[in-house]
Chain A
Amino acid sequence: MGGAPGFPHLHVASAFSAHYGVSWPGELAAAAAADGAEVLACTDRDGLYGTAKHVGACLGHGLDPVVGVDLAVRWGLPPAGGGSLGSAGRVVVLARGRTAGSGYRALVRLVSAAHAHTTGGAAGGSPYVTVAELADWAAGRHHGAPPELFVLLGPGSDVGQLMAARKYTAGRALLRRWKAALPAGALRVEVVCHLSPPGEKLSAAHAVRMLRAARDTRVPAVLTNAVRYATPDGAATADVLDAARALSSLETLADLQPNGQGWLKPAGPMHQVAREVCREAGAEGAGALLEATHALADACRLDPGSDLGWGRPTVPEASVIGIDGDPVTVLRQRTLAGARARFPQLYSGSRFSSSRAGRDLEDRLEHELGIITRLGFASYFLTVAEVVRMIEDMGVRVSARGSGASSLVNHLLRISAVDPMRHELVFERFLSNDRSTLPDIDVDVESARRHDVYEAIFARFGAERTTLMSMQNGYRARGAVRDAGMALGMEPEQVDTIAKQLWRFSASSFREAMDRMPELRGFAEQVESGRAAGQQQLDLLVDLTERLDRLPRHIAMHPCGVILGDASLLDRTPVQPSGIELPMSQFDKHDMDPMGMLKLDVLGVRMQSTIAYTLDEIERTTGERIDLEQVPLDDEATFGMIRTTHTLGVFQIESPGQRELIGKMAPVEFNDLIIDISLFRPGPMQSDMVRPFLEQRHGFAAARYPHPDLEPVLAETHGVTVFHEQVLRTLDTMTGCGLAKADEFRRQIGGPQEETVEACFRAAALEKGYPLDVIDEVWGTLHAFGSFGFCKAHGAAFAVPTYHSAWLKTHYPEAFLAGIFEHDPGMYPRRLMIAEARRMGIPVLPVDINASTESFRMEWVPAHPEVPGAPAHPDGGRWGIRLALTSMSGLSEREVQRIVAGQPYASLADVRDRARPTRRNLERLAQLGALDCLLPPGGASRTDLVHHLELQHAGAPAGAFGETPTGRRRTAGRRQVDGQLSLDLPDTEAQAIVPMFPPPSRDQMVRTELDLTAMDTTAHLMDSHRPYLDALGVTAAEDLLSLRSQSRVLVAGVRVATQTPPMRSGKRVVFISVDDGTGCVDASFFTEAQHETGEMLFSARLMLIEGTTRRTGPKAISLQAIRAWDLHRPETLPDPDYLDSSREAWRAWLRRDRSVARSGGARTDQGREAVPWGSGSRAPAGARPGVSRDIPHHDTGVWPVTVRGAVGLPPESSATGGDRRGAGLRGLDIHRPVPVPHPETWELLPTPED
């Protein structure tokens, strides 16, 4: 063969072969290209999971891609009685290329057919195809045409297995059967030699037998290396994956790979293998084998454009969207109709008003329609509009999110509720002539109706045009350590203990994390001492965990992606069961654009369900139906509520950091909410945009504009650049480049192209006559956060539900909290919302067999001396919220239905008879007090009832407590039978219980409630600790605000939230919020406090925290923690005189701290000593003189981020920007959890006292 360049590897599993492949498509393509290969295949197991990435990587490396799959095959369907008769092993199937897609189509359909034999999930069976299916899809399109698919019978096939077992005759016979079963020319024998020891599979001898069988049966043989890793280094990872797949340890794993030779070997070693095998086989030399391999590779080379439709968007056919005629015309008609509805004063009849606003509207509409038409996206907009119309018709709340709100067309089509004219949103941020990929339009729907919406979309567009998108779940730290531990044969308990200590860091940095994370200190010591004692297991555990990092484990339904296409969709993506009856694509969101697929994000948003529920409850209790669209956006009471920062439960602004920002910013109008939401992002936080903004907003500093021309652009944010839209307008104003070009520039800032942008900007601005210092300053700002700012359209889209939820919480608090309980939309546990209701004086009523239903409902509470809160109604009663039956864990859906159907109940027997709960659940209901209503007044207590039921159910022998009240004998373990017990036990049962025990104490009730409902309804969980906390002098959350800044306090509460940045260095901040019944305290733990606190930092539920207050605004106060204790470990807790006994030491420290703070925040390491009551003396995570402060932020992926001074301030203090290269923020993902700001960004704010 000789001169052929490279070796075409045709059997390659990428990392997307879950629990099998090791290397990413990019690594494989790079290795192949480096060896001079022209062709590379990707043949993932069971699917085309890595196909799109593979094709992309091949294009990037100048390779021709080949795509295929590694599939299990059966000779026939399994017999009806079960069993897996007729396994044909695993084969590789490759698609023939340059067929205008017919080869790829056959492959896609084959893979979908394989998954049609499964029902999804781990228990749904594994995919396979029958030989008949394989033959069908492999067949050419007409008689005599070449096959669409090639089938490679390798060592994993039944033939290969027989050959490994030296059953030559049977093997050859089977090979002939294969040949006969498949279309002519489709079959290849795959020769693989991993140079394993003689006698083992994948040895030279095994390969030789395959080669001889091929020759004997006249089937062409090709050579592959059955690749699982790009380099030899991956072999150990493959071992661990094999163990993980088999749920076994390496030691006991039966089917280990014989050695580590399954890597992407270069041509040299592959040719060597070919020569060795061919010589042994006495064959005609290696030439024929290699030639056949190259020939097959050539036949399978794909042309991504014509075979896959690469990069060519495909939308549903016009007839399906329900239009006839030209989509462009229809789009124009529909938007004009929308204008008539949305802007009746500006567009009526068929004319725009001649006012300025009318002309603006017309210009904007023409502008957008022009771009949409030029790009040919009219059908796309009509498709989305059709989906939204359909969802609205279902009566489901729907709202667009994201940059789609920038478009007037979207607003007029009712896709988006936000008026882009009013909020000055820039269309080019969403779509421009320079973007050729379909823009993302994301819509939020009620989470509880999401599946209904999906089904409706499938029904509307047809199953052949619709599928769900999938996503890849990769290994993260905890899963990786568990599987690595299992592979090493460690005790599950030991591994579990270690896994629980891992907290949100990338597994790839495990070893690094051990050095610096306080909660891993214990583990690091174990590793150390193990190493000293000659045990390497923990060291290996760390290494293997790092190896597994990010490798895909399985695919799952994407939380919101729906793919819409034309009738050819299922020819272009393989589908498999998703677990919810609807099929899902094997492609994920990264594959959508390259594969030309239209994805619609239909996100289930719990807040939308909450709002819908709230509106229903209001209607049920008042008869009034509120249309939120008609609610004015300037309600003073709502903004008053927001300014109190009691925003728990309100969309987007309930997190600790947001409450702090709200407290400082004190929003007064809707636009403030947009700004607030936009500021509360990693970029603005990190670029220190917040401080100058607030200073100028509150008049501490004068707004300053680099140039008068920019004042209109930056006025709404007082000269600080916050929005992408402002970056676009700034660029456009100073260079005249146009908004589309400006958006392109914006995307390039922060990337490798930034220098080009800077050059263009400077040249054009100079030409327009701007002075150099202005250009320098503006560029500094653009550079610092041009790519980080937030799209105002996102903020505006978010601000709508934020305002609506705040409005509902202000005016209909009971209904709103009932909605919150029902749909649990926020970041906090439900028990915190119960505490919030208690704080607001809303009675929360316990589970009651007669009053509770399937949902949390408002209930009228008549005046009662024990009900707290001022009477809100003339007759002294008020609305409360009744807990739902569903809040009790363990109660099945059907039990709940039966209980509700049988209400009301007059007796225990009645409950048994008609509601028929399990015995255990009846006891639980009694424990919770849900049966208290059946107890006679003054008679038996709840405790008596519980005992009664327990004894009865235990079938205890007759005796002091065992005798049933009726005196009848009961058989031990007797089962309840429908309809019998009411005869068995008369109505008098409850009356007859002899009162013996006192009712449960409040603490006992709370404990029971927490156990059974995870909520403390009767009283706050902290109340039982009150005496100790009072003695200690603990401050209540509601009292914190009255304290001076930098007061030293002790607070205590139940942990409700923990947030921490991902870490790249030793510096990280842990934010812990605790609730003490009067409100939330948000504490930040810096390095020192983390060390003081130790392992309980992440594990303790009830915490006592010592810290200093940081007052940052009229309503904003937070705590910088010094240390914390676990209230469940009394032996570690401080003595009640703790505050007094450490006061002097404290004062000394505080003096130093304050003096340093006054000198500009430049504390020195020497100047700041260890807090006297602490044991550590580590430098604080703060600043050093002359050195930029490291401001870590947990959503940037970059650590630390250096901020050199303030951005948006006069040049002498302005930022030149930190090192943001590689910051993972480009293409900000709006679905990420809301980040918490670094308190450092707040510290320098003026506070009222100082």
Chain B
Amino acid sequence: MGIFTQSVRVGCTTAGVPLRLEWNGRDYVLAAEPVRWYERRRWWTEEPRAERGRGAGLVDHEVWRVQVRLEKARNSPLLTLDISHHLDSGRWRLVRIHDGAAVRLRESA
């Protein structure tokens, strides 16, 4: 598992759920329903300001865990990625690539 902050482009449903993404010039499609959570940020070291009325996105950011495969090679191996969505800018970044074997897509409840 590695930590990245690479930019990715993500296509979403109207409800904001990722459908497909473009990464390193290649197109991927989702192979399973993604999981979403909000992850805390250490905003007091990462941000220069925390003024009132700043709105969402200071304390946490949205993270989606997606299982994708190449769009043009439908039997390529599955990749599990964590991508974060910055509400301020609307941009998506790749934050983690999971080693397929080591990660369960869903934590068992």
Q: Does B26 make an interface contact (CB < 8 A)?
A: no
Select from chain B the residue with minimum beta-carbon distance to A536: B48
In the assembled complex, the Cα of A546 lies from the Cα of B51 at a distance in Å of 8
Interface string of B41-66 (1 = CB under 8 A from A): 01111011111111111111001000
In the assembled complex, the Cα of A351 lies from the Cα of B78 at a distance in Å of 105
Q: Does A488 make an interface contact (CB < 8 A)?
A: yes
Does A487 lie within 8 Å of B44, measured CB to CB?
A: yes
Does A198 lie within 8 Å of B60, measured CB to CB?
A: no
In the assembled complex, the Cα of A237 lies from the Cα of B55 at a distance in Å of 12
Does B38 lie within 8 Å of A280, measured CB to CB?
A: no
Q: Chain B binding site: helix, strand, loop or mixed by DSSP?
A: loop
Does B55 lie within 8 Å of A233, measured CB to CB?
A: yes
Chain A hits for B109, CB < 8 A: 204-205, 208-209, 212, 280-281
Chain A hits for B32, CB < 8 A: none
Q: Does B91 make an interface contact (CB < 8 A)?
A: no
Can you name 25 A-B residue pairings with CB atoms under 8 Å?
A: A196-B39, A199-B107, A205-B107, A205-B109, A208-B109, A239-B43, A239-B44, A239-B59, A250-B44, A251-B42, A259-B38, A259-B59, A260-B38, A260-B40, A260-B58, A260-B60, A261-B60, A487-B44, A531-B48, A539-B48, A540-B44, A540-B48, A543-B49, A543-B50, A543-B52
Select from chain A the residue with minimum beta-carbon distance to B15: A272
Does B38 lie within 8 Å of A261, measured CB to CB?
A: yes
B68 CB, min distance to chain A CBs, angstroms: 19
Does A547 lie within 8 Å of B37, measured CB to CB?
A: no
Interface string of B26-37 (1 = CB under 8 A from A): 000000000111
In the assembled complex, the Cα of A251 lies from the Cα of B58 at a distance in Å of 16
Chain B hits for A203, CB < 8 A: 37, 107
Q: Does A972 make an interface contact (CB < 8 A)?
A: no
In the assembled complex, the Cα of A487 lies from the Cα of B106 at a distance in Å of 35
Chain A hits for B63, CB < 8 A: 197
Does B50 lie within 8 Å of A196, measured CB to CB?
A: no
Select from chain A the residue with minimum beta-carbon distance to B36: A195
Q: A208-B109, A547-B50 are in contact. List 7 more A-B contacts (CB 8 A).
A: A197-B63, A232-B55, A235-B59, A236-B59, A239-B43, A259-B59, A260-B58
Interface string of A251-282 (1 = CB under 8 A from B): 10000111111000000000000000000110
Which of B42, B50, B51, B55 lies at the interface centre, i.e. has the most chain A CB atoms within 10 A of its CB? B50
Interface string of A585-601 (1 = CB under 8 A from B): 00000000000000000
Q: Does A915 make an interface contact (CB < 8 A)?
A: no
Q: A208-B109, A487-B44, A488-B44 are in contact. Are A233 and B38 (CB under 8 A)?
A: no
B positions within 8 Å CB-CB of A: 35-40, 42-45, 47-60, 63, 106-107, 109
In the assembled complex, the Cα of A546 lies from the Cα of B50 at a distance in Å of 10
B33 CB, min distance to chain A CBs, angstroms: 10
B6 CB, min distance to chain A CBs, angstroms: 20
Which of B38, B55, B63 lies at the interface centre, i.e. has the most chain A CB atoms within 10 A of its CB? B38
Q: Does A19 make an interface contact (CB < 8 A)?
A: no
In the assembled complex, the Cα of A237 lies from the Cα of B52 at a distance in Å of 9
Does B56 lie within 8 Å of A233, measured CB to CB?
A: yes
Query: How many residues does chain A have at the interface if contact means C-beta atoms less than 8 Å apart?
Result: 39
Q: Does A411 make an interface contact (CB < 8 A)?
A: no
Q: A539-B49, A543-B49 are in contact. Are A260 and B37 (CB under 8 A)?
A: no
Does B50 lie within 8 Å of A236, measured CB to CB?
A: yes
- Choose from B50, B56, B59, B60 the contact partner of A540 (Cβ within 8 Å): B50
Q: A487-B44, A531-B48 are in contact. Are A236 and B58 (CB under 8 A)?
A: yes
Select from chain B the residue with minimum beta-carbon distance to A546: B52
Q: A235-B59, A259-B40, A280-B109 are in contact. Are A198 and B49 (CB under 8 A)?
A: no
Minimum-distance CB pairs A-B, first 3: A260-B59, A259-B60, A232-B56
Select from chain A the residue with minimum beta-carbon distance to B43: A236
Select from chain B the residue with minimum beta-carbon distance to A258: B40
Chain B hits for A540, CB < 8 A: 44, 47-50
In the assembled complex, the Cα of A198 lies from the Cα of B107 at a distance in Å of 7
Q: Does A194 make an interface contact (CB < 8 A)?
A: yes
- Choose from B40, B44, B57 the contact partner of A251 (Cβ within 8 Å): B44
Chain A hits for B35, CB < 8 A: 198
Interface string of A787-820 (1 = CB under 8 A from B): 0000000000000000000000000000000000
A215 CB, min distance to chain B CBs, angstroms: 13
Q: Does A544 make an interface contact (CB < 8 A)?
A: yes
In the assembled complex, the Cα of A287 lies from the Cα of B93 at a distance in Å of 35
Chain A hits for B39, CB < 8 A: 196-197, 259
Chain B hits for A208, CB < 8 A: 109
Chain A hits for B36, CB < 8 A: 195
In the assembled complex, the Cα of A237 lies from the Cα of B40 at a distance in Å of 14
Chain A hits for B56, CB < 8 A: 232-233, 260
In the assembled complex, the Cα of A734 lies from the Cα of B41 at a distance in Å of 66
Chain A hits for B47, CB < 8 A: 536, 540
Interface string of A538-560 (1 = CB under 8 A from B): 01100110110000000000000
Select from chain A the residue with minimum beta-carbon distance to B35: A198
Select from chain B the residue with minimum beta-carbon distance to A256: B40
Select from chain B the residue with minimum beta-carbon distance to A282: B109
Select from chain A the residue with minimum beta-carbon distance to B45: A251
Select from chain A the residue with minimum beta-carbon distance to B104: A198
In the assembled complex, the Cα of A329 lies from the Cα of B99 at a distance in Å of 90
Chain B hits for A209, CB < 8 A: 109
Residues 184-210 (chain A) with a chain B CB within 8 angstroms? 194-199, 203-205, 208-209
A837 CB, min distance to chain B CBs, angstroms: 51
Select from chain A the residue with minimum beta-carbon distance to B44: A250
Select from chain B the residue with minimum beta-carbon distance to A199: B107
Select from chain A the residue with minimum beta-carbon distance to B48: A536
In the assembled complex, the Cα of A155 lies from the Cα of B56 at a distance in Å of 24
Interface string of A213-236 (1 = CB under 8 A from B): 000000000000000000111011
Chain A hits for B57, CB < 8 A: 232
Select from chain B the residue with minimum beta-carbon distance to A238: B59
In the assembled complex, the Cα of A488 lies from the Cα of B40 at a distance in Å of 16
Which of B37, B48, B57 lies at the interface centre, i.e. has the most chain A CB atoms within 10 A of its CB? B37
Interface string of A919-951 (1 = CB under 8 A from B): 000000000000000000000000000000000
B74 CB, min distance to chain A CBs, angstroms: 27
- Choose from A237, A256, A261, A536 the contact partner of B49 (Cβ within 8 Å): A536
B75 CB, min distance to chain A CBs, angstroms: 28
A138 CB, min distance to chain B CBs, angstroms: 31
In the assembled complex, the Cα of A233 lies from the Cα of B55 at a distance in Å of 4
Select from chain A the residue with minimum beta-carbon distance to B58: A236
In the assembled complex, the Cα of A251 lies from the Cα of B49 at a distance in Å of 17
B43 CB, min distance to chain A CBs, angstroms: 7
Chain B hits for A536, CB < 8 A: 47-49
Chain B hits for A251, CB < 8 A: 42, 44-45
Select from chain A the residue with minimum beta-carbon distance to B46: A536
Select from chain B the residue with minimum beta-carbon distance to A250: B44
Which of B36, B53, B60, B107 lies at the interface centre, i.e. has the most chain A CB atoms within 10 A of its CB? B60
A1175 CB, min distance to chain B CBs, angstroms: 33
B39 CB, min distance to chain A CBs, angstroms: 5
Select from chain B the residue with minimum beta-carbon distance to A209: B109
Which of B56, B58, B59, B106 lies at the interface centre, i.e. has the most chain A CB atoms within 10 A of its CB? B59
Chain A hits for B50, CB < 8 A: 236, 540, 543-544, 547
Does B52 lie within 8 Å of A547, measured CB to CB?
A: yes
In the assembled complex, the Cα of A531 lies from the Cα of B48 at a distance in Å of 8
Chain A hits for B42, CB < 8 A: 250-251
Q: A260-B56, A547-B52 are in contact. Are A195 and B38 (CB under 8 A)?
A: yes
B44 CB, min distance to chain A CBs, angstroms: 5
Which of B35, B36, B43, B51 lies at the interface centre, i.e. has the most chain A CB atoms within 10 A of its CB? B51
Chain B hits for A196, CB < 8 A: 37-40
In the assembled complex, the Cα of A236 lies from the Cα of B53 at a distance in Å of 11
In the assembled complex, the Cα of A199 lies from the Cα of B38 at a distance in Å of 12
Select from chain A the residue with minimum beta-carbon distance to B33: A279
In the assembled complex, the Cα of A261 lies from the Cα of B63 at a distance in Å of 13
Does B58 lie within 8 Å of A235, measured CB to CB?
A: yes
A20 CB, min distance to chain B CBs, angstroms: 16
In the assembled complex, the Cα of A258 lies from the Cα of B59 at a distance in Å of 9
Chain A hits for B52, CB < 8 A: 233, 237, 543, 546-547
